[in-house]
Protein backbone atom coordinates (compact mmCIF):
# COMPACT_ATOMS: atom_id res chain seq x y z
CA UNK A 1 0.00 0.00 0.00
CA UNK A 2 1.41 3.37 -0.98
CA UNK A 3 2.01 5.68 1.94
CA UNK A 4 0.98 9.28 1.42
CA UNK A 5 1.37 12.10 3.91
CA UNK A 6 -2.19 13.33 3.34
CA UNK A 7 -3.61 9.81 3.30
CA UNK A 8 -5.85 9.89 6.37
CA UNK A 9 -9.09 8.09 7.22
CA UNK A 10 -12.28 9.73 5.98
CA UNK A 11 -15.48 10.02 7.99
CA UNK A 12 -18.42 8.06 6.63
CA UNK A 13 -22.02 8.48 7.74
CA UNK A 14 -24.43 5.53 7.47
CA UNK A 15 -28.16 5.76 8.08
CA UNK A 16 -30.11 2.78 9.40
CA UNK A 17 -33.65 3.53 8.21
CA UNK A 18 -36.24 1.62 10.24
CA UNK A 19 -39.61 0.71 8.77
CA UNK A 20 -41.48 -1.60 11.13
CA UNK A 21 -39.00 -4.44 11.72
CA UNK A 22 -37.04 -3.82 8.52
CA UNK A 23 -34.04 -1.74 7.44
CA UNK A 24 -33.17 -0.39 4.00
CA UNK A 25 -30.10 -1.65 2.12
CA UNK A 26 -28.89 -0.64 -1.32
CA UNK A 27 -26.81 -2.66 -3.77
CA UNK A 28 -23.68 -0.65 -4.52
CA UNK A 29 -22.45 0.20 -8.02
CA UNK A 30 -19.23 1.68 -9.31
CA UNK A 31 -17.15 2.58 -6.26
CA UNK A 32 -15.39 0.30 -3.79
CA UNK A 33 -17.70 -2.44 -2.60
CA UNK A 34 -19.55 -2.73 -5.93
CA UNK A 35 -22.09 -5.56 -5.77
CA UNK A 36 -22.41 -5.44 -1.97
CA UNK A 37 -25.38 -4.27 0.11
CA UNK A 38 -25.09 -1.20 2.32
CA UNK A 39 -27.09 1.34 4.28
CA UNK A 40 -27.65 4.72 2.65
CA UNK A 41 -24.80 7.06 3.48
CA UNK A 42 -21.68 8.79 2.32
CA UNK A 43 -18.77 11.03 3.23
CA UNK A 44 -19.02 13.89 5.68
CA UNK A 45 -18.29 17.18 3.91
CA UNK A 46 -15.91 19.72 5.41
CA UNK A 47 -17.70 21.94 8.00
CA UNK A 48 -20.85 19.78 7.78
CA UNK A 49 -22.87 18.89 10.87
CA UNK A 50 -23.16 15.09 11.39
CA UNK A 51 -26.97 15.07 11.48
CA UNK A 52 -27.17 17.35 8.44
CA UNK A 53 -24.95 14.91 6.56
CA UNK A 54 -27.20 11.97 7.53
CA UNK A 55 -30.31 13.82 6.32
CA UNK A 56 -28.61 15.00 3.10
CA UNK A 57 -27.28 11.56 2.19
CA UNK A 58 -30.67 9.94 2.82
CA UNK A 59 -32.46 12.49 0.63
CA UNK A 60 -29.82 12.41 -2.15
CA UNK A 61 -29.64 8.62 -2.33
CA UNK A 62 -33.18 7.42 -1.60
CA UNK A 63 -35.63 10.32 -1.93
CA UNK A 64 -37.29 9.11 1.30
CA UNK A 65 -38.67 11.30 4.02
CA UNK A 66 -37.18 10.17 7.35
CA UNK A 67 -36.79 11.48 10.88
CA UNK A 68 -33.53 10.94 12.76
CA UNK A 69 -34.16 9.09 16.03
CA UNK A 70 -30.98 9.86 17.93
CA UNK A 71 -29.21 13.12 18.68
CA UNK A 72 -25.78 11.52 18.25
CA UNK A 73 -24.32 8.55 16.35
CA UNK A 74 -25.35 5.22 17.88
CA UNK A 75 -22.35 3.17 16.70
CA UNK A 76 -18.91 3.54 15.14
CA UNK A 77 -16.87 1.13 12.99
CA UNK A 78 -13.29 1.31 11.73
CA UNK A 79 -13.49 0.17 8.09
CA UNK A 80 -10.27 -0.57 6.20
CA UNK A 81 -10.55 -1.44 2.51
CA UNK A 82 -6.97 -2.61 1.95
CA UNK A 83 -7.47 -3.66 -1.67
CA UNK A 84 -8.87 -0.22 -2.55
CA UNK A 85 -6.48 1.66 -0.24
CA UNK A 86 -9.40 3.35 1.51
CA UNK A 87 -9.97 3.81 5.22
CA UNK A 88 -13.17 5.11 6.79
CA UNK A 89 -14.38 5.66 10.32
CA UNK A 90 -18.12 5.17 9.92
CA UNK A 91 -20.68 6.79 12.23
CA UNK A 92 -24.21 5.37 12.29
CA UNK A 93 -27.52 7.13 12.80
CA UNK A 94 -30.95 5.54 13.12
CA UNK A 95 -33.83 7.10 11.23
CA UNK A 96 -37.55 6.43 11.30
CA UNK A 97 -39.18 5.97 7.90
CA UNK A 98 -41.90 8.60 7.35
CA UNK A 99 -43.01 8.31 3.71
CA UNK A 100 -42.11 7.64 0.11
CA UNK A 101 -40.75 4.73 -1.86
CA UNK A 102 -36.97 4.31 -2.13
CA UNK A 103 -35.82 5.55 -5.54
CA UNK A 104 -32.57 5.11 -7.43
CA UNK A 105 -31.43 8.73 -7.21
CA UNK A 106 -27.74 8.07 -7.96
CA UNK A 107 -27.59 5.08 -10.35
CA UNK A 108 -23.80 5.32 -10.58
CA UNK A 109 -23.68 4.55 -6.83
CA UNK A 110 -26.69 2.30 -6.18
CA UNK A 111 -28.65 -0.01 -8.48
CA UNK A 112 -31.35 -1.29 -6.15
CA UNK A 113 -32.98 -0.60 -2.76
CA UNK A 114 -34.58 -3.34 -0.71
CA UNK A 115 -36.06 -3.69 2.79
CA UNK A 116 -34.65 -6.51 4.96
CA UNK A 117 -35.53 -7.83 8.40
CA UNK A 118 -32.62 -7.19 10.77
CA UNK A 119 -30.38 -10.26 10.79
CA UNK A 120 -31.84 -11.66 7.54
CA UNK A 121 -29.43 -9.97 5.15
CA UNK A 122 -27.85 -11.18 1.91
CA UNK A 123 -24.36 -12.68 2.23
CA UNK A 124 -22.60 -9.98 0.23
CA UNK A 125 -22.62 -7.09 2.71
CA UNK A 126 -20.53 -3.93 2.43
CA UNK A 127 -17.63 -3.93 4.90
CA UNK A 128 -19.11 -1.30 7.24
CA UNK A 129 -22.41 -3.22 7.53
CA UNK A 130 -20.54 -6.46 8.19
CA UNK A 131 -18.36 -4.75 10.80
CA UNK A 132 -21.43 -3.26 12.53
CA UNK A 133 -23.16 -6.65 12.67
CA UNK A 134 -20.02 -8.22 14.19
CA UNK A 135 -20.30 -5.79 17.13
CA UNK A 136 -23.65 -7.36 18.02
CA UNK A 137 -25.47 -4.06 17.60
CA UNK A 138 -29.20 -4.30 16.91
CA UNK A 139 -31.06 -1.05 16.05
CA UNK A 140 -34.38 -2.57 17.11
CA UNK A 141 -33.32 -2.95 20.76
Measured between alpha carbons, how far is 94 from 53 in angstroms, rounded to an integer?
A: 13
List, in sequence order, every residue forming a beta bridge with 12; answer none if it has no partner.
Answer: 43, 90
Length reported for the chain: 141
pTM > 0.85:
yes
Provide the pLDDT for residue 5.
52
Mean pLDDT, residues 67-74 taken together = 97
b/e burial code for range 93-106 (CB count within 10 A of at least 16 → b): bbbebeeeebebee
Question: 13: which DSSP letter?
Answer: E
Reported as a single tens digit per residue, the pLDDT across 82-139 is 999 999 999 999 999 999 999 999 999 999 999 999 999 999 999 999 999 999 999 9
Handedness of CA 115, 22, 106, 129 (dihedral sign): negative
Q: What domains can be seen in the chain, in order of their start residue? A: 10-134 (3.90.79.10)
Asked if residue 63 lies in contact with residue 102, where contact means CB atoms within 8 angstroms, the answer is yes
Reported as a single tens digit per residue, the pLDDT across 5-43 is 568 999 999 999 999 999 999 999 987 899 999 999 999
Strand 10-19, strand 86-99: pairing: parallel
Amino acid sequence: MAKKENNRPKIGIAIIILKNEEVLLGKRNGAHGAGTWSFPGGKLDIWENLKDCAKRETREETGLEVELIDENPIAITNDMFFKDEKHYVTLYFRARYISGEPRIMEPEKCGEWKWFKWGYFPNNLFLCVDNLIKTGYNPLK
